[in-house]
C-alpha cells in the first residue's frame, strides 16, 4: 500500500491553521484550493459538508479527503472539529489589523506598528505551539554531545545562524558560522560522525545552505534544518527538522516574522543546551558578561 504523505499534526493542539499554511506549498494544486478556503475562513469551512467544501474548491470530495490526510487528520469529520475548535479559540484581532496580510497603502504609522507587532508576536507564539519538543530534545542531545557544531545560513537567515553560533560559543561549545559559502563547504567537508550541522533557511530552498548541509550529512554529521516549510528541499537533507510558523505573506513582512520565529527557536535550543549543564553554562556566561563590562558606562542597571 502506498503510504500517503502525512505530516503529523498531533502534537500541536493549537496550530492547525498554521500547520496547514506551512504545508500549503507542498500540496497539489487541487488540495491547495481546499487549503486556501480552509485557512481563509476556518469557521466557515467547519460548517460546510465535505461535498459543499469540495464544490466551493472546485474539486471532488476525494481531493478533500486527500487534503485531510495530507495535513495529518484521519478524515473530514475530524478536520471539521479541529477547525471549529481552532476558529473558536482564535480571538479576532481587535481592529482591522491585516492578519498576515500586507500593510494597506494609506496606513499611518500607528497602524503599521500594530500590524507588524501583531504578526510578529503571533509568529513567535504559533511557532512555539507547533514546535515538537521531542525533536528539540534530540537536537539538544546532539549538540550537547557534539564534537563541533557548524551553523549555516545565508542572507537574513545568516544573522540567525551567526547568532546561534555566538550563543553556543558563549557557553563553551565549539561552534562555527561562515558567511561565505565556500568556506562553509570546506568546513562541512571536515565534519564527521558526532558533529552537528545546522542549516537555517526560511524558504528551505536556499541552494547554498542545502548544499552545505548535504555535504555535512554525507560526512556523517547529524543535520538539523530550521525552516518555515516542512517539505522544502532542505528537509530532505536533514535528520531533524524544526519548523517556524510565520504565516506566508508578502515577501518582506513574512521575512521579518520568520526571523523572529527562527530566533525564538534558536533561543529555545540554546537554553535547552545550557540547561544540561547549568553550572558550566552559568559560569561561561558570567565570564563573557564580565569581559564586556569595561565597555559599559554609568551604573549597570538604571531602571526607570
| Pick 83 or 198: Cβ nearer DNA | 83
| Pick 33 or 122: Cβ nearer DNA | 33
Binding residues for DNA, rule CB under 7 A, total 25
| Rounded least distance, CB 90 to a copy of itself, Å | 9
Whether 228 and 78 have beta carbons less than 8 Å apart is answered as no
| Pick 193 or 298: Cβ nearer a copy of itself | 298
Q: State the angle between helix axes of 61-70 and 76-89 in degrees (0 to 180), rounded to the nearest 10.
A: 60
Among 20, 50, 83, 198, binds DNA (CB under 7 A): 50
Among 25, 41, 44, 61, binds a copy of itself (CB under 8 A): 25
Residue span 8-47 as binding mask against DNA, x where in contact by CB under 7 A, dash where not: --------------------xxxx----------------
Q: Is 202 helix (H, G, I), strand (E, B) or coil?
A: coil
* 185 is a contact residue toward a copy of itself (CB under 8 A): no
Query: What is the chain's length?
Result: 304
* 65 is a contact residue toward a copy of itself (CB under 8 A): no
Among 56, 99, 103, 185, binds a copy of itself (CB under 8 A): 103
CA distance 107 to 114: 11
State the virtual CA torsion across 286, 292, 294, 297 in degrees, nearest 10.
Answer: -100
Among 17, 45, 68, 146, binds DNA (CB under 7 A): 68
Taking CA 239 as the corner, what is the angle to CA 237 and CA 241, rounded to the nearest 5 degrees? 90
Whether 212 and 199 have beta carbons less than 8 Å apart is answered as yes
CA distance 42 to 84: 7
Q: Is 190 helix (H, G, I), strand (E, B) or coil?
A: coil
Q: Which residues bind to DNA, rule: CB under 7 A?
A: 1-2, 28-31, 49-51, 58-63, 65-66, 68, 74-77, 80, 301, 303
Amino acid at each position: 500500500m502506498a503510504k500517503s504523505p502525512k505530516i503529523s499534526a498531533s502534537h500541536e493542539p493549537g496550530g492547525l491553521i498554521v500547520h496547514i499554511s506551512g504545508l500549503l506549498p507542498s500540496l497539489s494544486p487541487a488540495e491547495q484550493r481546499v487549503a486556501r478556503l480552509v485557512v481563509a475562513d476556518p469557521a466557515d469551512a467547519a460548517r460546510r459538508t465535505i461535498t459543499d467544501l469540495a464544490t466551493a474548491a472546485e474539486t471532488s470530495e476525494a481531493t478533500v479527503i486527500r487534503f485531510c490526510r495530507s495535513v495529518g487528520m484521519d478524515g473530514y469529520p475530524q478536520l471539521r472539529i479541529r477547525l471549529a475548535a481552532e476558529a473558536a479559540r482564535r480571538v479576532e484581532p481587535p481592529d482591522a489589523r491585516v492578519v498576515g496580510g500586507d500593510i494597506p497603502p494609506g496606513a499611518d504609522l500607528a497602524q503599521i506598528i500594530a500590524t507588524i507587532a501583531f504578526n510578529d508576536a503571533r509568529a513567535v507564539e504559533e511557532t512555539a505551539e507547533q514546535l515538537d519538543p521531542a525533536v528539540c530534545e534530540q537536537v539538544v542531545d546532539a549538540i550537547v554531545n557534539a564534537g563541533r557544531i557548524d551553523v549555516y545560513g545565508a542572507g537574513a537567515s545568516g544573522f540567525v545562524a551567526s547568532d546561534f553560533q555566538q550563543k553556543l560559543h558563549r557557553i563553551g561549545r565549539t561552534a562555527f558560522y561562515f558567511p561565505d559559502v565556500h568556506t562553509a563547504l570546506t568546513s562541512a567537508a571536515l565534519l564527521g560522525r558526532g558533529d552537528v550541522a545546522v542549516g537555517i533557511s526560511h524558504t528551505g530552498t536556499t541552494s547554498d545552505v542545502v548544499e552545505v548541509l548535504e555535504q555535512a550529512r554525507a560526512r556523517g554529521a547529524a543535520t538539523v534544518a530550521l525552516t518555515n516549510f516542512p517539505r522544502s528541499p532542505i528537509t530532505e537533507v536533514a535528520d531533524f527538522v524544526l519548523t517556524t510558523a510565520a504565516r506566508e505573506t508578502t515577501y518582506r513582512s513574512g521575512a521579518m516574522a520568520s526571523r523572529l520565529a527562527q530566533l525564538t527557536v534558536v533561543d529555545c535550543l540554546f537554553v535547552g543546551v545550557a540547561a544540561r549543564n547549568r553550572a558550566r553554562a552559568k559560569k561561561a556566561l558570567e565570564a563573557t558578561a564580565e569581559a564586556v563590562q569595561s565597555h559599559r558606562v554609568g551604573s549597570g542597571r538604571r531602571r526607570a
